[in-house]
Each structure stands twice: as C-alpha cells, then as structure tokens.
Amino acid sequence: MRTPPYLVSTRTRTSTFGAIAAACLVVVAIVLPAFAGRGLIQDLFFIFTMLVLAQFWNLLAGYGGLVSVGQQAFVGFGAYMLFGSVILWGLNPIAALLLSGVGALLLAIPTAFFAFRLQGAYFAIGTWVVAEVARLVVAQWRSVGGGTGTSMPREAREVMWGVTWIQSVFDVRDSAARDILAYWLALALLVATIGGIYWLLRTKRGLALAAVRDNMEAAKSVGVDAARMKWMVFLIAAFGTGLAGGLIFLQNGRISPDSAFSVIDWTAFVIFIVVIGGIGTIEGPIIGVLVFFALQTLFADYGSWYLIALGGIGIVIMLFAPRGLWGLISDKSGIQLFPIRRRLSGGKLADRSKPSREE
Amino acid sequence: MIWVDTIVQGILLGGLYALFAAGLSLVFGIMRLVNLAHGDLIVLAAYLLLVIVSMLGLNPFVAALVAMPVMFAIGYGLQRFVLNRVLGADILPPLLVTFGLSVVIQNVLQEGFSADSRRIPAGTLETASLPIGPVTVGLMPLLTLLSAIGVILALQWLFYRTSLGRAFRATSDDPVTAGLMGIKPQRVFAQATGIAMVVVTIAALYLGTRSNFDPTIGPARLIYAFEAVIIGGLGSLWGTLAGGIIIGVAQTLGAAINPEWQILAGHLAFLLVLLVRPRGLFPRAND
Amino acid sequence: MALLETHGLTAHYGDFQALFGVDIRLDQGECVAIIGANGAGKSSLLRSLSGVLRQEPGMVLLDGRPIGALPADDIVALGISMVPEGRRLFPSLSVEENLMIGAYRSSGNGAWDLDAVYGMFPMLKERRTAPGNALSGGQQQMVAIGRALMSNPRVLLCDELSLGLAPVIIRDIYAALPRIRQAGASVIIVEQDIGQALKVADRVYCMMEGKVTLEGTPEELSRDAIHKAYFGVAA
C-alpha cells in the first residue's frame, strides 16, 4: 500500500507537546483541592470563569466578527434564571445551572433578531441596549428581590448535590466544599469551552467562520451561509456565557441587577482580557486572563487608577500591537498551541513548477 | 390635560437627546466611526463647564463659549493622534479603542471629582417657566429644544453651504479621490470630530444645568444618542431630532405610568422602531 | 529643464511590481500620450505622478524638485491635478459642488472657474444641481475634467478619458483639449485608443509590462513599431 504523497494537517510539534501538557494540567487541576487552600481555589474559580467568558467573547468578536458589548445580558439573565428557578420552583441549584444556559440561549434569539438588523459598529450598541432592557426588566421582578437583589436560600445551598460527599472526602466545612464544587464545575466548563471552540474552529464550519469574518461577500460567493454562521456563533456564545453567569453567581451566593448585568465586570474586563492577550486566537485569552488576574491582584486596591491603567493598556495594545501579547510571542517564536491553520506537508512541494497531483 | 403636558415635556426632553445624538451622527456620517466614548465625552464636557463656572464665576452659557474651543481641541487631537490610526475596513479596532477610552474617561473623572453627583448652577434660569397655551414650560427645557434645532440648522448649513461641508461629504464618499482634490482626509476627520465636540459641549451645558450628573452616567447618554440616531435613520440630522423626540416622549409617558418605567419605555420604543423600520424613519438614499 | 519628469520610477502593490524604472518627461506646453495594453503600468504611472501611490522622492521631479514621496493632496497644491479613471465623481455632491471641490486648495487665480468650465461644457450648467452620479457617462467625464481644471493645474493628468464612452462622445470630450492647453495646462493622457492618442499628442510613450518600450512623435512612429511595442511581438 502506498502512503499518500502529501498530508493535510493542523498539528505542529509544539501543539502535540501542548496537548500532552494540557492533559497533565487538567489532571493536576482536578486533584488540586486535595492540597490547595481555599483562597487558591477561589482565585482559580475566578480565573476559570473569566476565561470562559473571554473565550466566548473571542469566538464572537475574534472569529465571528460580532463585536458585542452586551454579553452582560447573558451573564445576568443566566444568573437570574438560576436564582429564579431555585427560589420559585425549588430546583436543586446544580440542576438549575443548566437552565442558566438555556435561559441565556432563549434570550439570545430575540437579541439576535434585533441586533442583527444593525450593521457593524451599531451592532455593538444594539446588544448593549438589549442588556439594559434585560437589567431594567429583571429589576421589576419582585420575587427575586427587584432592584435590590436577593441571596441564595440557605435550604437550597444545603441540598446542593455532591457537597456532603466532598465534605467527607476532603474533610472540609460545607462552605469550602461548595467552593470546591463550584471550582470543579468551572474547570469542567472551561475544558468543554476550550475543547469545543477548538473543535468547532477545526471543522468545515470553523473554516467557513474565518471566511465570513475575513470577507463576507467572498464567503457568500463560495456558498457559505453567512447569516446562519452568525446565528450559530451568537447562540453558542450566549449559552456558554449564561452557564458561566449562573456558576459565578451560584458561587457568589448573592445577586442584584447591577452586579449581574454589570458592563464593566462581564464585558469590559472580558474585552481587555481578549485584547491584551490577543484577539482571534485561543491562546490569547489564556495569556490575557493571567495578566488580568495579576493586575487585579496587585492593583485592584487602587480603584479608579487600576481601571484607568487597564483601559490605557487596552488602547495602547490596540494601537501598537493589535494582535496582543500572544501575537508578539507567536510572531517571535512561531509557536502555536492550538493551530487551526491547515498545513500541507510531504509531496513534491519543493518542485513548484510541476505540481504533483498523483493519487 | 395631563397627557398633553406629559407629551410636551417629552418633546422638550427629546431636544436634549437630539443634542446628545447630533455629534455621534456627524462623526458616523463622515467616517463611519462609532465612538463608544461619546457619552463619556459629554460628561467630561459637563465637568469642564462646572470647573469654568465655579472657578471663573461665569454664567454657564458664557462658560460654554470658553469650553467650546477646548473641547474642539480635545476632539481634534483625539481623532488626529488616536482614532485616525485605527480607522479602516475592520470595525474592531476603533470600537475597542473607544471602549477603552470610555473606561479611562469615567475613572479619570471619578478620581478628579469623586463619585458625588454635581450640578452646574444656572441661577434663576433653573426654575423659570412660561405658560404656553394650556401647559407650563420650563425655560431651560425650551432652550434645550431650541438649541437642538439651532445646532441642526447650523450643521445643515455647514454641510451643504460651505467648502468644509463639501469636503466632509466628498471624503465620506471616497477618501482617495478626495485626496486628489487637495483634501487631507486625516485633517478633515479631525475637524469633524472637533466640531462634534463643540456640539457635545452644548449638550453638556443642558445636561449639567438641568439635572445632576456623576462620572458614570456617560454610557446611558451614549445609548440614548444611539437610539435617536437609529430611529431617525443613519446620517439624517432631522431624523435624529425626530428620534430624540420619540425617545423623550416614550420616556415621559412611561414615567407617567410608573416612574420606574421611564428608561425602559424609551428602550422599548427604540426596539419597536427597529422592528417596524429597521433602517429608521428617514433613511439616507445612497447608503 | 522639464516641467515634470520621472527618474527610474518603480511601483509596487505588495509583492507585485507594476513599474520597472520608468523615465518619462513632460515639457511646458506639451501634450504627451501614454499608450499600452491593459496591465502595462499606465495607470500605476499616473497614480505615482498624482501622489495616490507614494514613491521615493527623487523618482518624480516637478521643475527639478523631488515630489515623489508627497501625498496626493500636496501634489494638487503644487499644480498637478488628475482626472481619475472611471470619473469617480462624488455621489453626495451636486454637479456644481463636484466642480467647486476641485478648487478646494486653490486661491482662485487663473483661467478656470465655474463660468469657464460651463462655457466649455454648456450642458453641465443645465444639470448643475443634479447629483454627480445622475449624469450620463460622457457628462460625468466632463464634470471630472472640469473638476480637475478648477484647481488651475500646470499639469493635467487624464486617465482613460474614452473608457466606456461612445465614439461621438469621445470626440466631443477630446474637442476640449486644445482649449485646455491654450489656457496654460500641459497634459499627460493615458489612452488605450491608439488612434485617439496619436491624433492629440505631441509625443507618445508606449508601455509594456511596466517599462517604456517606445517613445517618439506621432509622425516618427510607424504602426508596425507601435504594434510591436504594444504587444511585444512582431505583427
């Protein structure tokens, strides 16, 4: 049997190495609660959930060309679906998490219906309007606390699946056990998010997505249904963002319209993470969230000055290194951990005057 | 009778929103740029007016005349040195840069003036009112609407009667060919943003004298402005005024039913127009 | 000294090189035609002269002064204006405004103003308030020429005046050329229509694949030589 003379592949040596390293990291992360203190678990929870939000925003803006500044709509609505179903229907909070995603998905349908009527930059503000409408409507919802918000009922927290098991295995108090549970869920969501987005980008759909982003007219002419791609990306991002929102406020234990629909926390920070790390790559948000967490830990006490610096850094990066930190690293080293570009190897590529087409 | 009064107040409020929107509309019309920091620039101008009024003891209207050249320079410089670098086919860089700018302006104001809400003192004008037919109209709201109409007339004149206006339209059509006419697109864009900031100063004058403001209220003003622009139809200045009035009337009607519904009613009116007339009420023909 | 000349002019679009060391000259009062097939580099040459494409300073000289690196808007101010390929009128501007914007950087001294342009193309006056793109192709070309003249240029660059126009319209448009030259402009025309070019030009450059392959007065050049320079093969 003859081997094919050439091979189309997206894998590189570093990406193979990266995959093995990532698998080891995930295993370490799973068993980490056995060794780590509660503070570290909480920090990692924050990092993981912000990274999930960043990956979905990056999918929207970096790959889908949909610059949304209204993602807080899905965080907030997802979180409120969780609190609403727990408080009103007595659902187990872990089961209710799924409703966070579904609720955000349902909200995304009318949102897309309106916002897709707006072109380019106006789409951005359109999503913001929808988020404001969602916030104002939710603030009228008395049974979950109206404008002032509410807390997760004690009974609901006590019946959360898995908490007693974690308590007995790790020998911790119930509040620490709930943190560990939330941490594991965030880890699972993160792995599913990165894995899912990476898989999506490597499929034919993913290629079509890049084509739509780069040139909508040309993509249409080769048969890519641009409108359908946009819908798909928008709905996926809303579902994932809603799940993350539910999880964040499950761990938080308290919710209010202003915190759940905060444009700074759930969109501005997320945009900075993606921009600083490098938009349009999977690696970028990972770097970005680490930089963001470091800045947050070191400078969050400085309040306004911290936000001024963050905004300033975002502007400077956009002006002088629009592909972010990962762009700089990748250009210098040629490293790609999540390669999606298809490469041709083998065959008679060196002899370009006689392209080989043998089967 | 109370409904007539509510609608009249809404129309007058619409004048304020039209002032918020006129600068946004101007900049978008010429360079297809959406400035997400527009609302924060209005708030910045309001603080500038506050400083001039309190330090020099000037009347707010005179202070606005002093602030206008300062805001023009800020707009010119912002466009020349920052925004011109990111203009292009890709909408992402200008959006992200202006979003970053929005966060920076809000927090600089927070640092400089604290989070307390302020108001520009306008003396007896604040409470002056005059009866027009069956309703009593506040003098400041009336001046706001008249200023909005004045601003739109002035921008129309600038656009259609002056050499600079022709350069604006030509550059908007085709910057390369505009260059062949001796027009420097980069400079024209900077002038346009400068003029938009003069309009922003006028908007800030009424924002700051009519109600309290604090560093965080910019984004909401951006959203009202944006809604007015979309309702009116992109690039139509009179449409922008109509859009502002629709938002204003919807808000006062909503507030008359339940004070908590004021803002929501404005947004819902916007979504309704978007549903029925996606291109706005007065869309420009050649877009 | 030539009014306008190029020295070893090269032009690139990314990796693609469009011009390979072009040397041409235009003397005061002259009309020079540049002919060549599609893709010969004629338009790249005009775009380099007008500043739409920016090159090394010394590659383009006006009165011996290097201007090759200046942007288009500065080139106009120095007295070189262009009638771009495809007219490129501003659709948001009326016919009259299209003409007026041609004088954006000029002080208003010189032979050409609105009245002079309307005098040359009377039908434009009737349509002065129409939007630029509501006119027929020939009328649009007249506006584009008038617009370029409004800056009272010393050098007028005309890119493919005859493109897409009926022969009778082309004749009308070229009928304006003597008057333009009389008023003081030296002219470079780029043409695919060789017959038209030979009729109006004092000198002709023929280009192929980014190089000048032939130069001379219309009388000197045989059809055979032109054909060879145009297509690169003997007829």
Both structure tokens of A248: 């964040």
Candidates A104, A114, A117; CA nearest to A71 is A104
> Do A240 and A301 have their domain in common?
no
Nearest to A245 by CA among A3, A60, A80: A80
> Minimal Cα–Cα distance from B145 to chain C, Å?
29
Q: How far is C162 from A258, CA to CA, in rounded Å?
A: 65
Region A84-110 average pLDDT? 92
Contact B140, B61 (CB under 8 A): no
Residues 6+ away with beta carbon under 8 Å from C28: C3, C186
- Classified as helix, coil or strand, B219 is helix
- The CA distance from C50 to the nearest CA of chain B, in Å, is 7
Task: Give the ipTM of the model, two decimals please.
Answer: 0.90
Q: Give the pLDDT confidence of C81-112 residue by residue, as tens digits.
A: 999 998 899 999 999 999 999 999 876 678 89
* pLDDT tier for residue A332 given thresholds of 50, 70 and 90: confident
* Residue B39: per-residue pLDDT: 96
Q: Which residues of A touch B111 (CB under 8 A)?
A: 304-305, 308
Pairing of strands C186-191, C155-159: parallel
- pLDDT of residue A167 exceeding 90, the answer is no
- Round to whole Å and give the CA distance between B188 and B192: 6
**A204, A234, A261 - which closes a domain:** A261
Residues A60 and A202 reside in one and the same domain: yes
Say yes or no: A42 and A116 in one domain: yes
Contact flag A275-B33 (C-beta cutoff 8 Å):
no
Give the C-alpha separation, A251 to A242, whole Å: 14
Sign of CA dihedral C110, C114, C115, C121: positive
Q: Are A201 and A54 in contact (CB under 8 A)?
A: no
Which residues from A are below 8 Å from B94, CB to CB?
121
Report the pLDDT value the prediction gives residue C132, as an integer from 0 to 100. Answer: 83
Taking residues C114-127, what's their average pLDDT?
93
Instruction: Give the whole-angstrom CA distance, residue A262 versus residue A79.
Output: 12
Closest listed residue to residue B173, CA positions, set B158, B152, B188, B156: B188
Write down the pTM of the prediction: 0.88
| pLDDT range class, residue A359, cuts 50, 70, 90 | very low
Distance CA C120, CA B174 (A): 27
- Residues with Cβ within 8 Å of A100's Cβ and at least 6 positions away in sequence, in order, are A78, A79, A81, A82, A242, A243, A245, A246, A247
Q: Does residue C228 register a pLDDT over 50?
A: yes
Per CB-CB distance under 8 Å, the chain C contacts of B167 are: 101, 104
Which positions in chain A touch B234 (Cβ < 8 Å)?
Answer: 122
In this model, does residue C74 exceed pLDDT 50? yes
Beta strand pairing call for C9-13 and C4-6: unpaired
**Which of B34, B106, B263 is opposite residue A125, by nearest beta carbon?**
B34
Counting residues of chain A whose pLDDT is more than 70, the rounded percentage is 87
Question: What mean pLDDT value characterizes chain A?
Answer: 84
User: What's the gap in Å between the CA of B123 and the closest CA on chain C?
Assistant: 45
Distance from CA of A81 to the nearest CA of B (A): 20
- Mean pLDDT, chain C, rounded, equals 90
* B181 touching chain C per CB within 8 A: yes
Residues A255 and A309 in one domain: no
- State the virtual CA torsion across A291, A293, A295, A296 in degrees, nearest 10: 160
B27 exposure class (CB count in 10 Å sphere: 0-12, 13-18, 19+): buried
Residue B103, domain member (yes or no) = yes
Is B93 within 8 Å of A318 when comparing Cβ atoms? yes
Last residue of a domain, one of A222, A237, A261: A261
Q: CB contact, 8 Å: A159 with chain B?
A: no
Cβ of B226 and A125 within 8 Å?
A: yes
Distance from CA of B176 to the nearest CA of C (A): 7
Best mutation site among B32, B181, B183 for testing chain C: the one with the most C CBs within 10 Å? B181
Domains of chain A: total: 2
Q: Which amino acid is at A59?
A: L
Residue C99 is which amino acid? Answer: L
- Residues linked to residue C94 through DSSP beta bridges, in sequence order: C131
Per-residue pLDDT, A186: 94
Report, in this order, helix, strand and coil percent for chain C, each rounded to 5. Answer: 35, 25, 40
The answer to whether C148 and C81 are in contact (CB under 8 A) is: yes
User: Quick one: pLDDT band at residue C61, thresholds 50, 70, 90?
Assistant: very high
User: Which is it for the CA torsion C95, C101, C102, C106, positive or negative?
Assistant: positive
Asked if the structure places residue A24 within a domain, the reply is: no
A69-73, A348-352, B181-185: least confidently modelled range:
A348-352
Mean pLDDT (whole number) for A78-90: 92
A36: phi then psi, degrees, rounded to nearest 5:
-85, 155
- pLDDT for A342 equals 62
Interface contact A216, partner B, CB < 8 A? no
Residue A239 shares a structural domain with residue A171: yes
Does A355 map to a domain? Answer: no
Read off the pLDDT of each residue in A223-233 and give the average, rounded to a whole number.
81
Q: Note whether A235 and A309 are same-domain residues.
A: no
> In this complex, does chain C touch chain B, defined as having at least 3 beta-carbon pairs under 8 Å apart?
yes
Best C47, C53, C73 residue to mutate vs chain B (most B CBs within 10 Å): C73
* pLDDT level of residue A157 (50, 70, 90 thresholds): confident
How far apart are the C-alpha atoms of A103 and C175, rounded to whole Å?
72
Task: Return the minimum-mean-pLDDT range out of A106-115, B83-92, C223-232.
Answer: C223-232
The answer to whether residue A55 sits within a structural domain is yes
String of DSSP letters for A250-311: HHH-EE-HHHHT-HIIIIIHHHHHHHHH-TTSSHHHHHHHHHHHHHHHHHGGGTHHHHHHHH
Could you give the CA distance from residue A207 to residue C184 in angstroms, rounded to a whole number?
Answer: 58
Q: Report how far residue B186's alpha carbon sits from residue B170's, in angstroms, rounded to the nearest whole number.
A: 13
- pLDDT tens per residue, range A271-330: 999 999 999 888 999 999 999 999 888 887 888 898 999 899 999 999 998 888 988 888
> pLDDT in tens for each of the 287 residues of chain B?
688 889 999 999 999 999 999 999 999 888 888 899 999 999 999 999 999 999 998 999 999 999 999 999 999 999 999 999 998 878 888 988 999 999 999 999 999 999 999 999 988 888 888 888 888 899 999 999 999 999 999 999 999 999 999 999 999 999 999 999 999 999 999 999 999 999 999 999 999 999 999 999 999 999 999 999 999 988 788 999 999 999 999 999 999 999 889 999 999 999 999 888 888 888 865 44
Q: Show residues of chain C in contact with B173, CB under 8 Å.
A: 90-93
> Which token pair is A130?
């929808």
Contact B245, B233 (CB under 8 A): no
Residue B281 distance to chain C (closest CA, Å): 20
Taking one residue from A and the other from B, the number of pairs with CB-CB distance under 8 angstroms is 116
Domains, chain C, in order of start with CATH, read 4-231 (3.40.50.300)
Are A289 and A217 within one domain?
no
User: What amino acid occupies position B284?
Assistant: R
Which residue from A287, A275, A254 is spatially nearest to A322, judged by alpha carbons? Answer: A275
Hey, is the C-beta of A218 within 8 angstroms of any chain B C-beta? Answer: no
Expressed as residue numbers, the domain containing A184 is 38-261
Listed as own residue / partner, the contacts of B53-56 with beta carbons closer than 8 Å and 24 or more positions apart are: B53/B120, B53/B121
Mean pLDDT of C199-223: 90
- What is the domain count for chain B? 1
Collapsed DSSP state (helix, strand, coil) of residue B246: helix
Whether residue A226 lies inside any domain: the answer is yes
Answer whether residue C37 shows pLDDT above 80.
yes
Contacts of C92 in chain B (CB under 8 A): 169-170, 172-173, 286
- Based on the domain organization, do A179 and A206 belong to the same domain? yes
To 10 degrees, what angle do helices B38-56 and B185-210 make? 60
CA pair distance C225, C235, nearest whole angstrom: 9
Query: What is the end-to-end Cα distance of chain C in Å, rounded?
Result: 37
Q: Which residues of B touch A304 (CB under 8 A)?
A: 107-108, 110-111
Q: What is the mean pLDDT of the segment spanning A164-181?
A: 83
* List of chains touching A (3+ CB pairs within 8 A): B
**Contact residues, chain B, for C96 at CB < 8 Å:** none
Q: Do chains A and C touch (3 or more CB pairs under 8 A)?
A: no
Contact B100 A315 (CB under 8 A): yes
| CA–CA separation, A251 and A243 (whole Å) | 12
Domain boundary among A261, A286, A304: A261
Distance CA A40, CA A17 (A): 27
Kindly state whether residues A54 and A127 are assigned to the same domain: yes
The C-alpha atoms of residue A335 and residue A252 are separated, in whole angstroms, by: 37
Strands C155-159 and C80-83: parallel
pLDDT at C149 over 90: yes
Residue from the list A129, A147, A308 with its beta carbon closest to the beta carbon of B227: A129
Please give the radius of gyration of chain A, using alpha carbons only, rounded to the nearest integer: 22
Chain B nearest CA to C220, separation (Å): 35
Residues A199, A218 share a domain: yes
Range of the domain at B98: 2-108+138-212
The partner residue sitting opposite B179, judged by closest CB among C52, C92, C151, is C52
> Which residue type, as a one-letter code, is found at position A63?
Y
What pLDDT score does A214 carry?
67
**Under an 8 A CB cutoff, do C76 and B182 touch?**
yes
pLDDT of residue A216: 64
Q: Out of A84-88, C107-111, C118-122, C194-198, pick the least confident.
A: C107-111
